[in-house]
Structure 1
Amino acid sequence: MTMKEALQKAGESLTLVEHLKSCKRHEVQDTLSLNNARNMPSYKQNVAKRIRKVESFNIARQELIKEKRAHVKNLRKERDTINRINIQFAKFLRQSVIAPFNDVYADYLDHFIQEEKIKKAHNLSNYNDKVLKGLERVYLTKIESIKNAIGKDHSFEQLISPEDIEMLVQELYSLELYGAALKKANDIEISSENFAFLDKSNNGPMREKVGTMQSQKHYSSSSLF
């Protein structure tokens, strides 16, 4: 390169430098805005993806809350049903115990009274009147207690039949949440009772029953005084 060409190149460089010095500089915000504009499509995609993720989470949470509320509602409904049926069971057991059992017991005492009257008629001179009077006193007391129990028990206004109990049992079995578990528990209980009954049958239940009845008869006569 000749001297002339070198000087020409140097002059052009100086001219370019002077031109650059005279140019207005870009503001920093303009530069950042330009960078953001370049990244905006990717940024918008990420934001949209995050929004969809949050929306999906909220929908799933609302569905779960709705499901749990329905489950709690069913639990309360079944609890109320079980409580209502338990009350009916209690009434049935109470009427079964107070009315029929007490009637049988009254007949049982009446039978002993009649036996004692026969003994007295056959052996009037040697008969101990305390036995008969004691039986009659217990009999009258028992009859009075039966009347009082029935009079105070409002469940006797509408008696519950065994057929009603069977319908209530089936209603329990039909419960969505606990019906199957209740039926299984009852089946196990019935199987256990049947097994116990068979075991007693194999060990002479009649002999045991006769001995128990004799002991009860002796106790009933001797414990009056």
Structure 2
Amino acid sequence: MSVKKIMKIIIILFFFSFILFIPGFFIPIKKVYVFGGFFESKKIMNKKIYAINSSELKKEIMKDESIKETKIIKFPYGILFIIIKKREPVAYYIENGILKCVEKNGFIFKTDEKNKRMKFLKGNKERIVEGIELMKILKNVDTIYLGRDGPITKLGNFEILWGYNGYREKLKIIEKIMKKFDESGIIDMRFKNNIFFIKEEKWLN
């Protein structure tokens, strides 16, 4: 096939594509499909699809702090796809009476949803990362208090002052102490080379 014939075919295809599809972008939005989350589509219905600024629409959607990212796909003849990826919280935190969730990287975001399986972090939010690290190894603890000197939790009859770092190794030591003593009290793991067991005292309410 000659180059001239190939060029003619390309021009014909381009012409029909223009006739069939380009006018479709001047049609008002008739259908909005939202995947992975919620968006009030009434805000953009009947606007010309070509006039929708994807960046501005993304900003509007991302005002919901529980949304991690979003993608906008425009189709001719008034069809718009909005694909939403939600954040994946591992714990929740209450600040000034407002429920917030926490991602595993320590990012805090406002939400109206609370998953019953999530742990409750309470106290100094500057220490949330330590709380999340401890949370990974504690299966049966629902609440972790974020203290000035590290996380504090309840395990059985004991309150544990965890300090910082080495939580997995500290847990092994704590389990041995718990087997040895029947009394309730505090196990203080805040100091590198010293472990303190204080009978009958309580820090948490």
| TM-score in same-fold range (> 0.5) | no
Name which one, 1 or 2, has greater alpha-carbon Rg. Answer: 1
Q: Which has the bigger relative contact order, CA under 8 A and spacing at least 6?
A: 1
Measured against the shorter chain, the TM-score band is under 0.3
TM-score normalized by the length of structure 1: 0.19
TM-score normalized by the length of structure 2: 0.20
